[in-house]
Amino acid sequence: MSVTSDLRPDGIRVITMDHPPVNALPVQGWYDVADTMVEAGADPATKVVVLRAEGKGFNAGVDIKEMQRTTGFDALIGANKGCHAAFKAVYECAVPVIAAVQGFCLGGGVGLVGNADIVVASDDAYFGVPEVDQGALGAATHLARLVPQHLMRTLYFTARTIPAVDLVQHGSVFDVAPRDGLDDLALGLAAEIAAKDGRVIRAAKEALNGIDPIDVNTSYRFEQGFTMELNLMGVSDELRDDFAGTAKGQQGAGTAKRQQGAGTNKAANA
């Protein structure tokens, strides 16, 4: 997992995620994004952040295979806390964050993008939250910042995706460009912001967060509570095993993990 941070002379900081093959981030990756974003906002030389990714897609959410390889609930808890930290860091970054999205943006990727200040995308980009197919809940908070309520519910319940070009009409994606022009689009917007008085822009970011009608940090944690319930019920492991294409002989691992987790909980409650 690689998260790099490059501060340009004009005050534009470019943060790049790179975790082949599909930028499905492991637990540590989410914390790396969070730490890098916090450091960027704390640096007075940073005037605006462009959050981008290498590879064929922006972000495919959490690394489900890592979760299924891990016994007990450590990876699940780590992913929950790591995602919360990363989303929170994007939202609370002291300067505006522009998300530059190419290809797929799924699950946790929507969490990052939904908390960004501006979204631009490649013309082949698409967004979705497939959590219900994987026995989890989360990022409805952030999907609701991209589309109206009823459309959000339709996308959430069906796990369908929506093209970036459709989001332009909703105003949540500012503009789209061919893939080879996406960075230029993002950097062009960033340059406009970087040219302003940084003190004013930082104050404006804090003011806009202050008048936001939704507490995105609390609402996301509320969603995650239901994910924990589904995991304790054993539903999530079954669906994640199916998603990960686990062989029949290995499917017992999910049951073993649930039993181990249940035993740990019983011991803790004793």
Q: What is the pLDDT of residues 202-244, one digit of tens each?
A: 999 999 999 999 999 999 999 999 988 988 888 887 888 887 7
Q: How many other CB atoms are there within 10 angstroms of residue 75's CB atom?
A: 21
* Residue 79 in tokens: 């992913």
Spatial distance between the Cα atoms of 120 and 254, rounded to a whole number of angstroms: 39
What pLDDT, on the 0 to 100 scale, is given for residue 257? 41
Are 126 and 161 contacting, i.e. CB atoms less than 8 angstroms apart? Answer: yes
What pLDDT, on the 0 to 100 scale, is given for residue 252? 44
What pLDDT, on the 0 to 100 scale, is given for residue 200? 98
User: Could you tell me whether strands 126-128 and 161-163 are parallel, antiparallel, or unpaired per DSSP bridges?
Assistant: antiparallel
DSSP 8-class letter at 251: T
User: Global pTM?
Assistant: 0.87
- What mean pLDDT is predicted for residues 16-45? 97
Sign of CA pseudo-dihedral 57, 59, 60, 66: positive
What pLDDT, on the 0 to 100 scale, is given for residue 239? 87
Under 8 Å CB-to-CB from 27, ≥6 apart: which residues?
63, 66, 75, 78, 79, 82
Per-residue pLDDT band at 263 (split at 50, 70, 90): very low
What pLDDT, on the 0 to 100 scale, is given for residue 76? 87
- Residue 171 phi, psi (nearest 5): 85, 0
What are the sequence ranges of the domains in the chain? 2-221
| CATH, range 2-221 | 3.90.226.10
Percent of the chain surpassing pLDDT 70: 91
pLDDT in tens, 69-116: 887 888 889 999 999 999 999 999 999 999 999 999 999 999 999 999
Alpha-carbon distance values, 233 to 52, 157, 229, 250 (Å): 36, 20, 6, 19
